[in-house]
Each structure stands twice: as structure tokens, then as C-alpha cells.
Structure 1
Amino acid sequence: MGDVWAGLPILVQDIAVLLALLVPLGVLAGLLWRGYAPGRLVRALLWRFRWANTMFVALIAVSVGMGIGLLAQERGLRQGTAQAASKFDLVVSAPGSEMTMLLATVFLQPSDVGLIGGAAYAEIAGHENVEIAAPLAFGDSIGTASVVGTTAEFATFLSDGAIEGRLWNAPFEAVAGAAVPLEIGARAEPAHGHGDAAEEGAHAAEFTIVGRMAPTGTPWDRAVLVPVEAVWELHGLANGHAPGRADQLGPPFDADFFPGTPAIIVRATELWANYALRSEFTRDGETMAFFSGTVLANLYRVMGDVRQAMSLMSVVSQVLVASSVLLGLFILTRLFQRQVAMLRALGAPIRFVVAVVWSYAAALLAAGTALGLGVGLAAAAVLSRVVTARTDIVVSATLGWAELHLAAAFLTATALVALLPALAVLRQPVASGLRA
């Protein structure tokens, strides 16, 4: 059934969702607000048992809201990670795990990876279809911020040129990410390593912050970008340039004095050239070239399997909630058993009694579902802030059709189920109801 639904055009799905929402709501609105007798009685019941009704609506809202919040958050996380990788079209590294290199380059997760030599870098940087070939150098940190050695050209590309202050003109000048708690002019000594394993005082040098990048919405907002030559020199290596050009910063680098780099971020002159470059620089035992978007797509495929499992769990939970709603409706109808018995004793038609009980139940369900959309939006916003704070990936979760599908399905199914307690009321003897 799910495959059949997924195969329908999006417009057909959306029309079905709108009808599923509008039909029960329209019927309910007509009964409640157009002056019919069932509407007046339902309003009286809603007010008479308002505290019990409020609790029932709140429970429905929480159950619907949590499912909606998780679905919206998963989609927001996908969009956030895709945005974070948008500047990393093609990554060239030593052979190994593409996922490990993606986490190291795009999300700045510390990793132990191999290095690309000077000859390979020179070939990549000198290719006619390569516009930018930026080496990256990791391993150090300033507080909780990663120190990343690269080129001024890549820093400008990453920030779209939005840098407060200026770029570096000397080896130990740096540009801080937007979320790094260092102002322009501050001086900081780098530590070797990250986190608890960082070795303070391992480098007898300080970086001076001369610029700050505008927010990018990526983990690079918590990075300190420095000339790649400075990172090499801190670790006692050659700085990539021949002795006669030792004061130079940035490309071109001398292959004989190039210490190696774990990754090269490549930007091609044309979009089509990316595919040719990936094929050309994927060499057994030498280099590995991959699209960050392709690796993310594979990750999304795994997440899609997880999403299907979560969706199945959500369906199961919604079935349990619907069962609880049915039980709750049976209990709530006991509250006004005497009023229903009086209607029947006065000769009210069966359809009138069913309309009163069903409209009462549908009003609670509609209110709970509508409130659940708000709860889901609030839950997604809170989860987005938590994920953004933990990962430095800007996640913005909003409600979409998937969430409306879930709300509409729940409301439609439970509105139909609400007919059962309405019909069950008719099975109760009038005499016992009057004595209740």
C-alpha cells in the first residue's frame, strides 16, 4: 500500500491530504458553528467537562507532535549537511575510506589518514581544468576550535569573500570562524591534538587573529584558518617552498619541499570537468577522488533505511495512540451518559445522538491534531538548536507535506474510529443511563 501511495503524483497526494483534513473538519464545523442543535449540545459538553477535555487534547497533541517533530528534524538534518558540503565539490585524498575523509574535511572530525605527496599535488594543481586546489593540514587546536592550514584563496572561497578585517600576510596570522571566541587582534597559542588529548605548549608559537569569517552554517565556523605553511613549520617540516622562496605564502608549491597533505579541495573550472577529474585522479594505491555529495547520498540512503524503520515505529505508535484514543473516548462518553440517556428518552433520533457523540469526539481530535502541529514545530525547533550546538551544522526544521500527511492520516483514522463509541452509546439501556 505504501508503494502505491508513493507512486502517485505529488499533486494527487497533496489533494488527498487536503481532502482528508477538510472533510472531517468541514463536517465538524458545520455541526458546531452553524446553529444546529448538535452543535449547541457539543459546545455545552466541551465546556461542562473542560478539564478532562483539556487533558485529552494535550495527550493527543504530544503524541502527534513528537512524530511530526522527528520527521521534520530528519529532513532538516539532511538539508543542513548538504549545505555544509556545498563548497566541497571534489575531494582528493590518499586511498582509504571516503566517509572518513568526508568527516575530516567537511565536518572537521579528527582522523588518522594518509598524505598526498608533492608530485600528486603539483599534477592536480597544474591541471588545465582545475581552478582551485587547496591543501588542508589538520592536527592542532586552539581551545575547542580546530586549526586548519590552507590557502588564502580557499578561505576567500569558503566565506564567499565575507571576511571582517583581512586575510593573513604572514605565516602566523590567522582568520577565525564566526563562532570562535577570539576577536581581531587576539593572540592564541595552538595545542597539538584535540580535546582532552591536546598537548598544551607543544608549539612555541602564537597566532594573531587578523580576520573573522562571516557565518557559513558549517563546522568551519568553529575553525581557525591559518597558512598551511605555518602548520608544516610548527611540526618541523618543510613549508612547501624552495629555500629561495621560503617567505612565500600559498601556491605554487615546490613538489620537492611539499611535506604532504591529507586532502586537497578541488574546484573545477566547469561543472562537467568534475567528473573527468574524479576519474583521472582515482588511482589505485596513489590517490582517491570523490564527490562529497555522493558520499552524503550514500549516507542518506542508510538514513533512509533508518527513516523507514522510524516510520514503521511511528505507525505502530500511532496505532497504539489511536487505540488509547478509542479507549479514552469510551471513558469520556461515560461522563455524559445521563445526558445522552435523556436525549433518547425525549425521543431524539438515533442519527442526532450519534452526531452529538461523534462531533464531541471529533472536536477533541481536531483540536489535539492542530495543537500537535504546533507542538511538532516547537519540538523540531528545540531539536534543531541542540543539533546545531552539538555539530555546528545549521539545521532548520520546518513543517512540510510529510508532516501534514501524518497529521491528516491520524485525524482521518481516529475520526472514523470515533464512530465506535458513538454507536456504543446506543447499546446502553436508557433506564440505567438516567440513573447514572
Structure 2
Amino acid sequence: MPEIWAGLPVWAQEILLVLARVAPAVVLGFLVLRGFRIAPLLGGLLRRQAWISAVFCALIAVSVALTTGILSQERGIREGSARAADKFDLIVAAPGSEMTAMLAAVFLQPADMALLDGAIFDRIAARPEVDLAAPIAFGDSWQGAQVVGTTAPFVMHLSGDLAEGRMFETETEAIAGARVQLSLGAHFSPAHGEGHAAEDDAHGDFEYEIVGRMPLTGTPWDRALLVPVESVWSVHGLANGHDASSQDKLGPPFDPALFPGTPVILVRARSLAATYGLQAMFSQQDSMAFFPGAVLGRLHGLLGDIRKVMGVMSVLTQVLVTVGVLAGLMMLTRLIARRLALLRAIGAPRRFVFALVWSYAVVLVVAGTLLGLVIGIVAAKLISAAITAQTDILVQARPGWPEVRMAAAFVSLTSILALLPAFMTMRRNVARDLRG
């Protein structure tokens, strides 16, 4: 049996899991409704109690939408952040907090970091197993967009082919991220600092020209301005990493004695084994090498704990809503007790009244659950768009099979609990209800 299950496509496994969740409600419906045609009376009951039915559906929809939104949003954030870190195999930084270095290098979050000197960069770049070693220097900005100094190979590694234009070839040229509001040929002057703390006139005498644009990556780098790392050093009055004979050269190799320093070095090795070897080799007293994916995994673990708490809260909300709906149904059966008693008086069996009340409750539950899934999908898309706009991390919260399984289980559980008001209706005294 496990071999047969493992051989099924994922979508088939998910459909079977959903059917297993909803099976109790289906079986219960067959047992309760067999032999009866209650559709006309059920339709009349829904029409007469339209407002009350709408309120019950809305309560159920809100609880289902809340759970759907939480589950899908957490998954979307996790996938979006993992996608942002995908291009960063190994990061080398000065000893300190791995989380701070990861947030600064991958998500371009402002941070005060010590610099790695030219000797460390030279040792990394000289390793035969290193395919790419790129300095990443930040600290300047333009209207909130970070100006990041790096090398042309890193730009190509990050984005692939440029969406338009060409790669920078001099210290005064720059590559714009996909979301930067600067066109090709535009000029800008970097400001010292980042965000609102930037000093607008710090580098007013130095201008970059936009010569290329990266394609959309769905990461914070879409709002970055990438420039030659040599220009970041030059604009701050430092050596540019090259001796007098190659002052106009861009990119490695750098002269260790003329390398001013960089807060982060991105390293990409030729194989996974080589990457692990480099991580061990450069985790020393003067440097810290780590995998951004591992740090992000710890952060996702924390989010997972929060998700569990929020999931418990969502389940409790659903339980409270279910109890409220069942209590409301009990009150509703008292309001329509005379009509139900009339059915009994003209010969309708008890089980018919039982089936009518139960099916009314199940219709409300199913309608509210479907409406909740729709609301949850719409809300998740709106929230994802807001998160993407604020963080520049492409978050795509698409409710999937976990939410469908949750909804199916909710329908089955509530259908079973709905037997209680139906049973209490069947036990009511017909003569007393007729007199009432």
C-alpha cells in the first residue's frame, strides 16, 4: 500500500486526502437524507430565513478566511524569502552576527558592519574551487534606493542577462534594479547614508549614469543601484583596489594593499562539497563564513512557531464560531418550531424533520466555508501585494491544498456537530409547539 501511495502524482494524493477529510460529511449526508426529497422545503426555509442564514454564513466565512489567510500568507513569506536568498550560496563577513550579515547582504537592510581587508579577499579569490568571489559594499543611497558597490560578474550572477542596456564599464556608470525609477541615460548623485538618514549633499559633485537595468528578481535588489565597487571606494576618498598602472580597470584581481575593505564577500564554489570546505576554511578569528539558507532556516523555524500559535488561534476561532452557529441554529429551530410541528402533524416522520434541520445547517456550513475560501484567497493576494510593496520581496500567497484540507475537515466536523440541534428538534413536543 505505501508503494502504491508513493507512486501516485502529488495532485492525486492531495485529492485523496481532501476526499478522506470530507468523507464523514458525505457518508453522514447519505445516511440522514436517504429516502427523502427535502429540496423544496429546504429552499423555502432558506428563503424565509434569508437574513439569518446570511449572518450564519458570514460568521463561518470569516473564521475560514482567517485561517486560510494565515496559512497561505506564512507559506508565501517563507517561499519569497527563500527565493531572495537563492543566489547567495556562501557569505563571508567580519565576525559578528550571522543574522545581521544575512539581512544586510541578502535583504539590503542597513547595518553597521566591520570590513574585511584585501588579504582575506585575496585568499578567497585565489582558491581554485572558487567560481565567483564578489565584494558587496553598501552605505550610500539615492532617494531610499541603496547604492551597492560590486563587480560585473556578481550582477550577472544575480540577474542573468540585463533587461535592457549594458554592463557598467567605468566608475561613473551604474545598473538600476527593475523597480528603480530611473531610465537609461539618467544621472544621479549618491547620498551618504541610507533611507531618511541620508545626507543629500554628501557626494553632490559625483554623478553616475544609468547604462543598464536588471530584470525583475522579486528581491530587495530590484530597488538597488549597482555600481562598480571601485567607485564606492573612490567617492569616499579611498584607494580603488588597483595600482597606478591599472587605475581604470574594474573588478578583480585587486591589489590587497590597495583594497580598502568590504563588509561582505559573496562566494560561489564549483561544487557543493567545495562550498562546505570553504565555509569551514574561512570560519576563523578574522572572518565568518556562513550559509544564508541555514540562517534563513532558523528564522523560518521561528516563523513556524508563530504559525503554530496563530494556527491554534484560528482553530479556536473556528470552534467558537461553530459553537455560536450551533447555538444560533438551536434558537432558530425554536423560532420555526410551529412550522416543523405542522409538518409532523400532517404526517411527516420524525426523521424527515431531523433531515430537514440537519441539511439546513450543513448548507449554511458549506456555503460559509466556500465563501470563506474565496475571501481568504482575495485577502491573501491583497496582503501579499502590500508586503511586496513594503519589502520588495515577491510574496505570492496562493491558498493551496493545506487550506482545502482544513476546509474539508471543518465541514465534516461541523456536519457531525449539527446532528445535535437536529436531534433536539426531533424530540420537541408537537402539541406544545402547535399551541405556541
Which interval holds the TM-score relative to the shorter structure? over 0.9
Give the deviation of 1:86 after TM superposition.
0.5
- How far 1:405 sits from its partner (Å)? 2.5
Deviations 1:236-261 (A, max 9, x none): 11111112211111111000000000
Give the equivalent residue in structure 2 for 1:65: 65
Is it true that 1:217 corresponds to 2:202 in the alignment?
A: no
Contact conserved, 2:188 with 2:207, CA < 8 A, in 1?
Answer: yes
**1:332: Cα distance to partner?**
2.5
Residue 153 of structure 1 is matched in structure 2 by 153
- Displacement over 3 Å in runs of 4+: 9-17, 25-32
1:245 to 2:246 alignment: yes
**Residue pairs, 1:337-376, within 5 angstroms:** 337-376=337-376
| Other-structure match for 1:205 | 206
Q: CA deviation at 1:84?
A: 0.3
1:253 maps to a residue whose letter is F
Aligned AA (2:367):
A
SS in 2 for 1:272: helix
CA deviation map 1:73-111 (0-9, x unaligned): 000111000000000010011111110011000000000
Residues 1:122 and 2:136 aligned together: no
Count of aligned residue pairs for this structure pair: 426
- SS of the aligned residue for 1:261 comes to coil
Q: Deviations over 1:41-65 (max 9, x none)?
A: 1122112222221222122111111
Instruction: Give the aligned partner of residue 6 of structure 1.
Output: none
Partner of 1:426 in structure 2? 426
Supply the AA of the counterpart residue of 2:265. I
Give the distance between the partners of 2:127 and 2:59, measured in 1 at CA.
62
- Which amino acid is the alignment partner of residue 398 of structure 1? R
Match of 2:336 in 1: 336
2:65 corresponds to which letter in structure 1?
G
- State the SS of the aligned residue for 1:237: coil
Runs of 5+ consecutive residues of structure 2 not aligned to the other structure: 1-9
Residue number in structure 1 paired with 2:230: 229
Aligned equivalents of 1:410, 1:268: Cα separation in 2:
49
Aligned to 1:255: 256
Alpha-carbon distance in 2 for matches of 1:196, 1:13: 48
Offset of residue 40 of structure 1: 2.2
Deviation digits for residues 113-147 of structure 1 (CA, Å, limit 9, x no counterpart): 11110000001011101011010110010102100
SS at match of 1:91: strand
Query: Using the alignment, how far apart are the partners of 2:346 and 2:283 within structure 1?
Result: 85
Alignment of 1:86-101 (within 5 A): 86-101=86-101
SS of residue matched to 1:122: helix
Shift of 1:160: 1.1
User: Residue 106 of structure 2 corresponds to which residue in structure 1?
Assistant: 106
Conservation of the 8 A alpha-carbon contact between 1:174 and 1:226: yes
Offset of residue 290 of structure 1: 0.6
| Separation in 1, partners of 2:61, 2:366 | 10
User: How does 1:8-407 map onto structure 2 within 5 Å?
Assistant: 15-25=16-26, 28=29, 36-203=36-203, 204-284=205-285, 286-407=286-407
Give the letter for the 1:363 counterpart. V
| In 1, Cα distance between equivalents of 2:151 and 2:144 | 22
Partners of 2:150 and 2:35 in 1: how far apart? 72
In the TM superposition, residue 301 of structure 1 has moved relative to its aligned partner by 1.2
The TM-score with structure 2 as length reference comes to 0.93
- Work out whether residues 129 and 270 of structure 2, in 8 Å CA contact, stay in contact via their aligned partners in 1: yes
Quote how far apart the aligned CAs of 1:428 are.
2.8
Q: Under a length normalisation based on structure 1, what TM-score does the superposition of the two structures give?
A: 0.93
Answer yes or no: is the 8 Å Cα contact 1:93–1:263 preserved in 2.
yes
Matches of 1:378 and 1:59 in 2, distance apart? 17
Following TM superposition, by how much is the alpha carbon of 1:72 offset from its aligned partner in structure 2, in angstroms? 0.4
Matched residues in 2 for 1:241 and 1:136: separation?
17
Q: For the Cα contact (< 8 Å) 1:139–1:194, is it kept in 2? A: yes
Aligned-residue offset at 1:324: 1.1
Distance 2:31 2:58 in 1: 24
CA distance 1:363–1:26, shift in 2 (3 Å): farther
Q: Structure 2: how far apart are the matches of 1:104 and 1:149?
A: 13
CA contact (8 A) 1:132 1:267 kept: yes
Partners in 1 of 2:363 and 2:27 — Cα distance? 11
Query: Is residue 232–residue 239 contact of structure 1 (8 Å, CA) maintained in 2?
Result: yes
SS of 1:394 mapped into structure 2: coil
Query: Given that residues 162 and 212 in structure 2 are in contact (C-alpha distance below 8 angstroms), is that contact kept between their aligned partners in structure 1?
Result: no
* SS of the residue 1:116 aligns to: coil
Other structure's SS at 2:164 match: strand
Q: Post-superposition shift, 1:342?
A: 0.7
RMSD: 2.1
Q: CA deviation at 1:321?
A: 1.4
Contact 1:60 1:365 in 2 (8 A): yes
User: Helix, strand or coil: the match of 2:107?
Assistant: coil
**Equivalent residues of 2:145, 2:195 under 8 A apart:** no
Moved more, 274-283 or 342-351: 342-351
Deviation at 1:401, TM superposition (A): 2.5
Once structures 1 and 2 are overlaid, which stretch shifts more, 48-57 or 355-364?
A: 48-57
Once the two structures are superposed, residues 151-210 of structure 1 have per-residue CA deviations (whole angstroms, 9 ceiling, x without a partner) of 011111111123310111110110000000001111111111112211011012111111
Q: Is the 8 A contact 2:92 2:290 kept in 1?
A: yes
Partner-residue secondary structure (3-state), 1:374? helix
CA contact 2:25–2:416 (8 Å) conserved in 1: no
State the AA in 2 paired with 1:260. G
Does structure 1 retain, via aligned residues, the 8 Å contact 2:228–2:250? Answer: yes
Q: CA deviation at 1:373?
A: 1.1
2:239 alignment partner AA: A
Gaps in structure 1 of 5+ consecutive residues: 1-8
SS of the residue corresponding to residue 290 of structure 2 reads strand
* Partner Cα separation in structure 2 for residue 25 and residue 381 of structure 1: 31
Which is worse superposed, 314-323 or 96-105?
314-323
What is the SS of the residue equivalent to 1:104? helix
Alignment identity in percent? 53
1:302-346 CA-to-partner distances (Å, cap 9, x unmatched) read 111111211221222221111111112112223422211111222
